[in-house]
Amino acid sequence: MTNLSRKATLAAAMLAVTSLFSVPAGAQEARNIILFLGDAGGVPTLNAAGIMAHDRPQSLFIHSMPNVGLSDTSALNNWVTDSAAGMTAIMTGHKTDSGMVSVLLSGSGGAVTPVKTFLEYAEQRGLSTGVVTNMPIWDATPAACYAHVASRKDKDQIFRQLLSPRFGDGVDIVIGKGQADVIASFAKDGITPEQAFAKAGYRFGNDPAIIRNAARAAVLRDSDFAPIPAVEATIGQLARNPKGYFLMVEWDMHTDDPEKGLKHVIEMDDMIRRISAVASKDTLILFTADHSFGLRMGGGKRNAPLAQQYAAEAAKPGATIANNPVIGVEDGHTGEEVIAAASGPGAQQIHGFFSNTRLFDVMLNAMGWKKED
């Protein structure tokens, strides 16, 4: 083969790969994107949750979404990622080291450079934005949407960046946990969270009901809340913007407490089912996980509810979550691929095997935006 032939073959191959993840000419662009992020919601966890809840396989609404692929989750420095690097890859299109939030190492001595997030792209273009989570609002997954820090533990800096955005006016609707954390953080500056958030234009409180009457609101609490009403109210506010919106909804699916983690899978699945039914047709709905977790179904008979069988094994003397033969858990993140599932404009880009960084490109392409260097 001549050098010219090799170049032509390579160019054709690169064009074919690019076309797999591009929006076809004439296809409808998305006006809105809702990213549902199941933290630690790997394939084994989704499978076990569906069978525990419905006693049949592939019974989640997620399993019915029309476009499905498998996403690599590795960090830049580790095969098994944490949430900080995992969500950074999704939100910025760049892999980074574990523990880092939407930044890249830029030299010796630990210096870092911020990387623009998809939420910041949306803010720069005048869209409304929201972040909803059942975890602390400063935690790695939500923080990767709007903050840039070298350590995911730097909650003081994360709170301050939330209120001092680099683009637009920042996240419009914020719902999550961390009430005690935010009080302690701003106390160091001699102010209350109410004062800090009011100065940034937010209505601040601990009841998600305030979202219905506030275009900019922050709800921080230390207890669980009803997810579907909170997400519906958030979308109701964000959708008032004729330019569109971006919403990230995170739900914790870690199964170090298996029953709690699997219950959270069902909660998010119910959310996706409901929002898929009411969202406008120009909305790309995307589900994925930042990483998987060490849960495995090791047994169970089909002639009795799996939940009963799991509970019976858990009640035996000496039983632990690790040695339960029905659903066992090795408490830790794992490195296998996770599901990405999508519906709506741009969803056809989700298929096959790809890097978690590709999900950033999927969202950009769905909106018809160009990637910036």
As a whole-number percent, the residues of the chain with pLDDT over 70 amount to 92
Please state, rounded to an integer, the average pLDDT across all residues of the chain.
Answer: 93
Quick one: which of 311, 362, 359, 337 has its CA closest to 41?
337
Helix (H, G, I), strand (E, B) or coil at 237: helix
User: What domains can you pick out in the chain, each with its CATH number?
Assistant: 30-38+72-268+279-286+343-367 (3.40.720.10)
Lowest mean pLDDT among 5-19, 219-233, 256-270: 5-19
In this prediction, residue 165 carries a pLDDT of 97
Can you tell me the mean pLDDT for 350-365? 98
**CA geometry: angle 245, 251, 257, nearest 5 deg:** 175
5 has a pLDDT exceeding 80: no
pLDDT category of residue 23 using cuts at 50, 70 and 90: low
List Cβ neighbours of 356 (8 Å cut-off, separation of 6 or more).
Answer: 71, 72, 73, 86, 89, 90, 95, 288, 290
User: What's the DSSP call for residue 323?
Assistant: T
In this prediction, residue 17 carries a pLDDT of 45
Span 288-323, pLDDT tens digits: 999 999 999 999 999 999 999 999 999 999 999 999
How many residues would you count in the chain? 373
pTM score over 0.85: yes
Span 132-148, pLDDT tens digits: 999 999 999 999 999 99
Helix (H, G, I), strand (E, B) or coil at 89: helix
- Distance CA(314)–CA(330), nearest Å, equals 15
Q: Are 199 and 216 in contact (CB under 8 A)?
A: no
- Longest CA pairwise span in the chain (Å): 72
Span 228-271, pLDDT tens digits: 999 999 999 999 999 999 999 999 999 999 999 999 999 999 99
Q: Phi and psi at residue 359, in whole multiples of 5°?
A: -65, -30
Q: Are 322 and 283 in contact (CB under 8 A)?
A: no
Can you tell me the mean pLDDT for 93-104? 98
Structure tokens at 124: 């720069």
- Tell me which residue has tokens 């792209």: 121
